[in-house]
Structure 1
């Protein structure tokens, strides 16, 4: 996938309508975005405007996810879009997102290759600030390996992230990670691309959380194939329920 890097600046405001300027270093596009009805109007016609319109769903995702407080004149953001990215395929939770030696793409469950699967889940007690997680590997011969660990995190989301990191540390071959954390799955396959280009800032201009952990996870994904699948939590899925149970037992111990 080709990634285009750009800068965005809010150059003016009139009620709920904000004037934006987008620059890719070669062309500039001015546009208006109405925060009340989410309407988007392109004011210039050039190669950059054609690119933005072609990838409008991605671009709108950035605008729609911005907090109300981040809409003000002078706000600046470095961002990127993946040319031709199929948003529908990435959003389909039944699909598998693949990171393969620098490439990121989506495959359906029926097209998945034969590699070991690793299931992870964490259990975190916010009151006691205490958590643990379970890593369950299913080898190609159907044999399971289970390990439980205490975590060093301060919330449930980072505990889920730590569980996946540990799985990739313990096993250094190609893997399919199955997690019930969209935070982990989307973070490592989508959000991290934009965070890195923007000095680890989100579309709201705030620093991303768990930066060092994300850097470590990305490093562990290099030079091999790591697939990220999703399973809904507490939905009678054997491996996920097992990991949840063992993580809770470890945490309570």
Structure 2
């Protein structure tokens, strides 16, 4: 897939309607986007306009995902788009995202390889600010190996990402990682390829979170084949439910240790 690097600037705004320009090294395109109705008009008649029209779904996702407070005259953003990316396939949670020695693709479940599977999950108590995660390895003979670990991070999404990274560190070779985290899945399949090209800036113009962890995940996938599957949480999936239980037990044991130190 061809990666096209572009720049965007908001040049005018009235109410919910904004005027934008997008340009590359050769062409410029004017756009009008209403952040309330989501109506998008891509003006002009050049190669860039045709590129944006043929990849309109990607452009819409970028504009839709921008926070309302990031729409203001003068806002600028460097960003990238993938020509011909099958967005629907990547967005289908039943499909499996593949990192194959640095390249990224998506396959249907029927095409998945026979691999060691590693399930991960996280648990976080906001009140006590304690978090933990679990890793459950299932080998090709159906045998299980489990790990329960504490986390220093203060939000569930970061701990979910930490769990996946730890799994990749613990087990070498080709793997299938299964997570219930949309943050992890979207980061791998959708966000990270653009963050790397955009100096790790999001559509809102702010820095992405957990950059060091995303770089570590990328490093761990460079010289191997890794499939990333998704399972909906709390949906009677045995390994996912067991991982959830392990993570919660580890986190609750940490809570108990903290409560012992309280003076009443």
What is the TM-score normalised by the length of structure 2?
0.93
Contact 2:90/2:189 (CA < 8 Å) preserved in 1?
Answer: no
Query: SS of the residue aligned with 1:104?
Result: strand
Q: Secondary structure at the match of 1:20?
A: strand
Gaps of at least 5 residues in structure 1 are none
Partner of 2:159: 159
Distance 1:119 1:33 in 2: 41
Residue 140 of structure 2: aligned partner: 140
Shift in Å, 1:189: 2.1
Contact persistence 2:122–2:244 (CA under 8 A):
yes
Match of 1:23 in 2: 23
CA distance in structure 2 between the aligned counterparts of 1:172 and 1:238, rounded to whole angstroms: 24
Deviation, 1:39, is 1.4
Residue-by-residue CA offset, 1:184-242 (whole Å, 9 max, x unaligned): 11112210112222221110111211111111111111111111111011111000011
**In 2, distance between residues paired with 1:136 and 1:57?**
36
- Secondary structure at 2:19 match in 1: strand
CA distance in 1, matches of 2:36, 2:209: 29
- Matched-pair contact (CA < 8 Å) for 1:99–1:189: no
Give secondary structure in 2 for the equivalent of 1:140: coil
User: Using the alignment, how far apart are the partners of 1:36 and 1:162 within structure 2?
Assistant: 36
Other structure's SS at 2:184 match: helix
Corresponding residue of 2:259: none
Q: Deviations over 1:62-114 (max 9, x none)?
A: 00111111111111111111111111111111110111112111111111111
Match of 1:36 in 2: 36
Counterpart position of 2:126 = 126
Alignment partner of 1:47 is 2:47? yes
In structure 1, the partner of 2:183 is 183
Question: Runs of 4 or more off by more than 4 Å in structure 1?
Answer: none
SS at 2:94 equivalent = coil
Query: RMSD in angstroms over aligned alpha carbons?
Result: 1.1
Paired position in structure 1 for 2:260: none
Alpha-carbon distance in structure 2 between the residues aligned to 1:240 and 1:202: 30
Q: Which residue of 2 aligns with 1:224?
A: 224
Deviation readout 1:136-172 (Å, 9 max, x if unpaired): 1111122111111111211111111110010001012
Alignment coverage as a number of residue pairs: 253
User: Cα distance, 1:115 vs. partner?
Assistant: 1.4
State the match for 2:113 in structure 1: 113
Q: Is the aligned partner of 1:79 residue 2:79?
A: yes
Q: 1:175-214, aligned counterparts within 5 Å?
A: 175-214=175-214
How far off is 1:15 after superposition? 3.1
2:37 pairs with 1:60: no
In 2: Cα distance, 1:93 partner to 1:69 partner = 30
Distance 2:66 2:52 in 1: 18
Equivalent residues of 1:9, 1:75 under 8 A apart: yes
Gapped runs of 5+ residues in structure 2?
254-264
Partner residue in 1 for 2:262? none
Contact kept? 2:138, 2:145, Cα under 8 Å: yes
